[in-house]
Amino acid sequence: MSEAVDTSGEHELDLSWMDQKGPWDTKAEESRYGLTLADIQIGEYGETPDVSDNLTGRPRGSAPRPGSYRIGNYAVRTKNEIWLDNASFLYEEALQRQWSSATDVPWHTIEPLPDDIEQAECQLATFFTEVEFVAGDVPARWVSETTPDFFEARQVLLAQVMDESRHMDVFRKRAMANGGGLMQATGATSGFVGSIDLSRDFTEMSSRLHLSGEGAVLTMFRMGELMAQNEAEKAMYRLCAQDEARHVAFGVMHMRYMSAAAPERREEIHCYLDEAEGQIVSGVGNPAARGGPVGESLAILLGGGKDKFDEGMNMLTAIRRRQFREYKKRIVSAGFGERFENGRSRLMEMFEEAA
Amino acid sequence: MAKSSKASKAKTAKKAPAASAKPSAASDPAIAATPTLVSSQAQGKADSGQPEKQGPVLDWMNKTRQWGVRVKPGKAGLRLGDLNVGIYGEIPMQWSDQSRNPRGAVPRKGMPPVGYAVREKVGMWADSAADLYEEAIQRRWAPATDVPWNTVEKLPSDIERAICQVCTELSQFANVEIETIAGWQHQMVYGYHEVKQYLATASFDAARHYECFRKRALVNGGGLGVEGPGQVNRMILESSGGWSATVAYLVLVRAVFTMTILKYLARHAYNDAERFIYEHVLQDKARLLTYGLDHLHFAVAHDDEQPAVLATVLAIGDRVLTRDLRDPALREALAIIFGRGIRGARRQGMEMYEEMMADFMQTHLGYCRWLGIARAPAEAMPPPLNRHAGASVAA
């Protein structure tokens, strides 16, 4: 005879929720790089809808609750508006490659510089402090307007916000580390029509921010060895370039996806590129453009002083050529290379002139 | 700020005669008001990349508000807060500049505004923001490689189902945190960049939380459960009247609730992977809590209306939270985890849940008292909060 079970003081449970669940028996396994986002894209959990009807913000693959309020109101609910195929990879890489401007830059290697060079460095640092966080503010806004069904893309953008915050901070630090200070802002990211801030479509924004703006800056960071006066600056540019390359890769891969998934938008994308090429890539919107505070600072840094301005300007011209070449490669990779063959883009013409 | 000014005297060189002799753009309207960028863009001029024949203009040189700054790295490196020296550490109560002019730089006149909604220090500031920013960077971790996933082993089906339910709801909490912070961040002016930078780390933390709870749900033969009831989610997202009110919901209510859950989960973890996740998310959340308390403290200290507004906001929040708490999914899932199964959930598990809720309410009310925000007496709160508010927590 079994003993009677004492159930006094026990709470009654309503376990009906246990039957409401997403696909079960899921067992993601670690790969070579740990348990990555790609490793959990398995079964239905890896399926992203072409159009998301998730307006409650539920995690993709979870069981919906019929009574939930539609609190999402997401502007970006169509996959081709934001998707890219390698988002998981870019996000995991961003996590692995985080760095600290406080401790990873060898600040002790900075030594007093001639006044013209310190001023040029501080002007350049002021410019970067000013513009780097446009690439933080703007992706953040789009994250808040994108359905979590496309969370992989959102994760990359959140990593970008973090990266840009660090860039803003490292250049401010540089401006104040060596007997200088901040100089004059350029106003480069103000509220102009067609600016990165004011874009009303994610792909338009990405074409301006990731492909054109950050692409141009990436080339400059990559040439940091030429501009840097000490190991601290070399480290700054190298680390920033690493981050920036991921951001540019986001833009290229998104465009590639968009091009394949929504060919009806190709002409529209070409129009964004026309505009960006006229301003950010070839115009004075490019930080490496001749003249103006940033271009002249770069020439001084590259030449090694105000008295070697012309040599510096020649080197800056070489950087611009490289910017053009790299930009072209990215656009070709994104699937919009015909603009360089059919005469639509004037960049090659300018490149030939400069060569 | 007094501290910063004092520090500035030590770290900042006095304006050198040469520096003070330098012309300032602010006093040179011909230069400051020349928007070369705009006019060239408007004319559609393109730069061919050809070397220029004429010499440099160099009219940007010597334009600085303070020169001669030499901030040295300390024991913890060169930290963001170390830069607040001299004029660079002057943080005004209002920031009317709607461009991205870095604090302390010479502004350029005539630039179209970017447009920011939060332009007052009282609406976003926390003295700890710069330190929290640096701490977040130092304490970074990666769910893919830092969590010992190989320690997760097969669990009884009721426990696995419960853990997956909790992970589903915690992942959804993280989603709301992401959307809320990201939705406000771009509305904040550049003058208080330390806060914007700290919030960048907070949304990145939340991204990691979203990811690691999802990973835990999908790694051990389970899957995601049912989405949460979402009333508090809605409340946080809809609190668009001001960042301070949003912080009250996001931090004083949601973060304190989540941290309490994590604390109890860490005590009842089934393996090292879960323990690692709960403890590290808790560590991240502690920074958000610090920011939130610090900000609300600043807001209350500088705005006489704020305590009453926050009291109203939180009283509304009590009723909304109550609606979420009526849902059995999270409550019972936690009880199953604490009771090591459905059977144990009915008594020990629910007792532990009740203790956890009392802990949450006592902590929440303690912070409100510290901030000077008047809350209703326990008996006037809606059930079950009244019970939790009046209960004492076992040590």
Give yes or no: residues B95 and B242 share one domain.
Answer: no
Structural domain spans, chain A = 79-354
Domain that holds residue B28: 1-39+63-115
Q: Which of A145, A178, A353 sits opposite B70 (nearest CB)?
A: A178
The complex's ipTM works out to 0.95
Sign, CA dihedral B85-B88-B90-B91, equals: negative
In a domain, B395, yes or no: no
List the single range of A179-193, B76-90, B114-128 with lowest mean pLDDT. Answer: A179-193
Identify the domain boundary among B88, B115, B142.
B115
pLDDT, position B53: 52
pLDDT digits (tens, 9 = 90+) for A222-249: 989 899 999 999 999 999 999 999 999 9
In a domain, B51, yes or no: no
pLDDT tens-digit map of A9-20: 889 999 999 999
**Distance between CA A296 and CA A314 in Å, rounded?**
12
Q: Is A227 on the interface with B (CB under 8 A)?
A: no
Q: Token digits for B368?
A: 């409100």
pLDDT in tens, B358-386: 999 999 999 999 999 999 999 999 999 99
Same structural domain, B74 and B95: yes
Tokens encoding B211: 């990811």
The verdict on B258 touching A (C-beta cutoff 8 Å) is no
User: Can you tell me the mean pLDDT for A120-136?
Assistant: 91
Question: Average pLDDT for residues B329-338, to the nearest whole number?
Answer: 98
Chain B residues whose CB is inside 8 A of the A18 CB are: 158, 161, 165
CATH number, position B303? 1.10.620.20
Q: How confident is the model at residue B114 (pLDDT cuts 50, 70, 90)?
A: confident
Q: By C-alpha distance, which of B343, B170, B224 is closest to A20?
A: B224
Predicted local distance difference test score (pLDDT) of residue A279: 74
Claim to verify: residue B162 and residue B202 sit in the same structural domain: yes
- pLDDT digit string (tens) for B312-332? 999 999 999 999 999 999 999
Confidence of residue A193 (pLDDT cuts 50, 70, 90): low
Answer whether residue B338 shows pLDDT above 50: yes
| In contact, B163 and B213? CB cutoff 8 Å | no
**Does the residue B46 lie in any domain?**
no
Question: Which pLDDT does position A116 carry in this prediction?
Answer: 98
Q: Do A154 and B77 touch, CB atoms closer than 8 A? A: no
Of the candidates B64, B114, B231, the beta carbon closest to that of A181 is on B64
B366 and B326, same domain (yes or no): yes
Considering only residues A191 and A165, tell me which one the structure prediction assigns the higher pLDDT.
A165
Mean pLDDT of chain B: 87
**Do B101 and B141 fall into the same domain?**
no
Inside any domain, residue B58: no
Q: What is the pTM of this model?
A: 0.91
Could you read off the pLDDT of B208-226 as tens digits, one per residue? 999 999 999 999 999 999 9
CB-nearest partner of B142 from A42, A96, A350 = A96
Least confident range from B14-28, B83-97, B278-292: namely B14-28
- CATH code assigned to A79-354: 1.10.620.20
Q: Tell me: do B333 and B312 sit in the same domain.
A: yes
> Do B215 and B348 belong together in one domain?
yes
Contact between chains at A57 and B55 (C-beta distance less than 8 A): no
B80 and B189 housed in the same domain: no
Average pLDDT over residues B60-72: 97
pLDDT digits (tens, 9 = 90+) for B98-113: 888 999 999 998 888 8
For residue B43, what pLDDT is reported? 32
Residues B226 and B349 in one domain: yes
Q: Is residue B17 part of a domain?
A: yes
* A198 — pLDDT class (breaks 50, 70, 90): confident
A-chain CB neighbours of B150 within 8 Å are 30
The amino acid sitting at B47 is D
Same domain? B383 vs B242: yes
Q: Is the peptide bond before B384 cis (omega within 30 degrees of 0)?
A: yes
B169 domain residue, yes or no:
yes
Residues B97 and B127 in one domain: no
Query: What total number of domains does chain B contain?
Result: 2
**Residue from A143, A182, A298 whose CB has the most chain B CBs within 10 Å, to mutate:** A182
Residue B377 CB: number of other CB atoms within 10 A?
A: 9
3-state secondary structure of B376: coil
B317 assigned to some structural domain = yes
The segment with the largest mean pLDDT, out of A193-207, A281-295, B356-370, is: B356-370
Do the domain assignments include residue B379? Answer: yes
- Both B293 and B353 in one domain: the answer is yes
Q: Give residue-wise pLDDT tens across range B237-281.
A: 998 789 999 999 999 999 999 999 999 999 999 999 999 999 999
